[in-house]
Amino acid sequence: MQLDSASGWCDGVRHCPSPNFNARPEGEISLLVIHNISLPPAQFATGKVQEFFQNRLDVTEHPYFAGIADLRVSAHFLIERDGAVTQFVSCLDRAWHAGVSCFEGRETCNDFSIGIELEGTDDLPFTDAQYAVLVDLTRQLQKAFAAITVQRICGHSDIAPGRKTDPGPAFDWARYRAALTEGEEQ
């Protein structure tokens, strides 16, 4: 996996372009938002997240899908339980992942953030493969977008409190942050 900073696309990952994006306003990319998703809830490796982000989800397949049928959302990346990565939107474009949101007094976080979805739920532990890939991807994003410091990485729940709960209590922030800073002292 290698991020091409000129195009905003990663080489070596699956590309499933989503129609749910638009151009960013002028300005920096300075925030990374971690989410979780599974469709249907708590079911993994179904391919339904990809269909959802591409507006191809058959809403008759599961009762839960009726409630999300009219949503038009996306994220830049999805990291599945086995560590497989799918990219839906160029990092240079605005994915529709954060919704109504605010970080350090600045609203509309989609304007200046990158969204990474982890296949999972708030209360099930994420896999070692997911953490390893998340750390690698985060480091590449930080290299391409220097304003994304460790302090500017947050959960969806941090920018949309009361509305969103992901990545949830099962996400090990200490493990993730420690892995990101490992080797920085050298």
Which residue ranges make up each domain of the chain?
2-181
In this prediction, residue 184 has a pLDDT band, given cuts at 50, 70 and 90, of: low
Q: What does the pLDDT read at residue 153?
A: 98
3-state secondary structure of 159: helix
78: pLDDT strictly greater than 90: yes
Supply the pLDDT for residue 15.
98
155: left (phi over 0), alpha (psi -120 to 50) or beta: beta
What's the one-letter identity of residue 89? V
> Which pLDDT belongs to residue 186?
37
**Residues carrying an active site annotation:** 117
pLDDT at 136 over 50: yes
Class of domain 2-181 as given by CATH: alpha beta
Q: What is the pLDDT of residue 182?
A: 85
pLDDT at position 185 is 46
Q: What is the pLDDT of residues 11-23, one digit of tens each?
A: 999 999 999 999 9
